[in-house]
Amino acid sequence: MANKLLLMWLFFLCSMITSNKADSVNDTEQLLSELFANYNNIVRPVTDHTKALNVSIALFVKSLKEFNEVEETFSYTGALQMTWIDYRLKWDPEQYGGLESITVPVSKVWLPEIFLASPATTKMYFVQSWNKARIWEDGTIDLLQGAMIETTCSLNVEYYPFDVQACDTLLMSLAYKNNEVNLLKIGQTGIDFTLYQNSSLWEITSTSVYVETIATGTELQMHFIFYLKRKSAYMILNVLMPILFLCLLNALVFWLVPESGERIGYCITTLLAIAVYMTIVMDTLPQSSDPVPLISYKLVIDLISSSLIIVVVIFNMRLHNKDGDQKVPGWLRSLYRTLTCFNCMQKKVNPEVIPVQDATWQKNETVENGCEEKKKILRNDDNSTDEDGNKITWQDISAMVDWCAFVFFVMCSLLSFFVFVGVALGNT
């Protein structure tokens, strides 16, 4: 008897579940047939056609795909949400089994025809015919469309690689004027980064969303602006630092012994290496003259400096190999003496009492310091020969040029690097 009662209860429950499912399907079918019986998806859903229909838009960003600096394009994955109210699609949930929302193909409802006004490809429209729209009981329509958004972005690479870019995604409803469709943003920011995955090359510092009337005065366009800051660690380690080290290595040519015969080859090799880095950097930047990147000026200065080093080396090699019988001009001898004893100062030592075996006399002897002695040695006659027979030769002049050129070009390399970094960082 108990088994029979249990079977009866199971049969009753199954019947109720089947009945509820059937009712749910019937309610949906009945609702769809009644909602779209006399619905025209061409007519704008407003009771007063002199007023504009509010269409709220939000952008969901998932990840940054690519920032092509040469072609000036910006792409990211995300979704576009559009929301508006169609008063013709309202119903009472109690009359349809508590049904609060339904999904229908977008082809069945009126659409605001939002499209991308700044496309980098031929893909301009977000909505496809197979997309679904969700309709709520109060007539609110939600359309969420995932897409790969590829848009143009005008770059300002003046302070590359410490630059900050502003990329604008423009949306318009070209089929309707501003007195027919009014574009609004959803929420405070209009852009949602809840599911955003950080990029390894760019950092999104801030965003901006606003609506403006275009120049014709009849259409609206909506701006979604991304402010992107480049993560410059990669460029510093792989471009700027190698160029700095190459410039410093180039100056070391003046430490090479002139008799080695490797000076010219060393200079040209370093010049070619700097030119290769210059080509690499220029290939990663757009071909723009307004503005010209500061790094371009820096690379040109380094290239000119390397070229001047070659000129100085060739000139100095001629000095080094001059005939010893040729007289060194007086102004060169004076310059050589000045640079050689630049840090020398004449000093006198306190008088010393010199003991002698015969204690009948003492004398005080004044001793000149090492610099004074050196100056006496370098005080030459008109034939560039000093009192002890020492002579200032062209080889001495060549060594002086090497030392001055080394200091000068090292200072130029360091100055150009730190000035560039300071100016670029100071304006970001």
What separation in angstroms does the CA of 17 have from each of 14, 21, 23? Answer: 5, 6, 10
- Distances, alpha carbon 235 to alpha carbons 137, 161, 239, 240, 309, in Å: 55, 7, 5, 7, 26
Query: What is the model's pLDDT at position 1?
Result: 47
Whole-structure pTM value: 0.72
d(CA 405, CA 423): 27
Q: Strand ranges (DSSP E) for 109-265? A: 115-116, 132-136, 140-152, 164-172, 181-185, 191-192, 202-213, 220-230
Average pLDDT per consecutive 10 residues, the chain (428 residues; last block may be shorter): 41 41 70 88 88 91 88 89 92 88 90 88 78 91 89 88 90 86 87 89 91 82 92 87 89 85 86 86 73 86 90 87 77 80 44 41 41 48 44 83 91 91 83
- Characterise 385 by phi-psi region: left (phi > 0), alpha (psi -120 to 50), beta (else): beta
The pLDDT value recorded for residue 378 is 47
pLDDT of residue 372: 53
Q: Do domains 36-231 and 235-321+409-426 have the same CATH topology?
A: no
Considering the domain delimited by 36-231, tell me its CATH architecture.
Answer: Distorted Sandwich (2.70)
The whole-number pLDDT of residue 223 equals: 93
Q: Which residues lie across from 386 on neighbouring strands?
A: 380
- Residue 113 gets the label, from left (phi > 0), alpha (psi -120 to 50) or beta, of left
As a whole number of angstroms, the distance between CA 428 and CA 164 comes to 7
Q: What pLDDT, on the 0 to 100 scale, is given for residue 166?
A: 92
The full DSSP string for 136-167 is: ETTSEEEEEEEEEEEEE-----TTTTS-EEEE
Domain boundaries, given as residue ranges, for the chain: 36-231, 235-321+409-426
pLDDT at 341: 67
Position 285 scores a pLDDT of 74
Name, in order, each residue with C-beta under 8 angstroms of 189's C-beta and a sequence gap of 6 or more.
Answer: 207, 209
Cβ–Cβ under 8 Å, residues 218 and 84? no
- Give pLDDT, residue 157: 84
Q: Which two tokens stand for residue 426?
A: 């100071």
Partners of 60 in beta bridges: 79, 192
The CATH number of the structural domain formed by 235-321+409-426 is: 1.20.58
Cα–Cα distance list, 269 to 274, 297, 310, 354 (Å): 9, 21, 11, 62
The token pair that represents 96 in the structure block: 């349809």
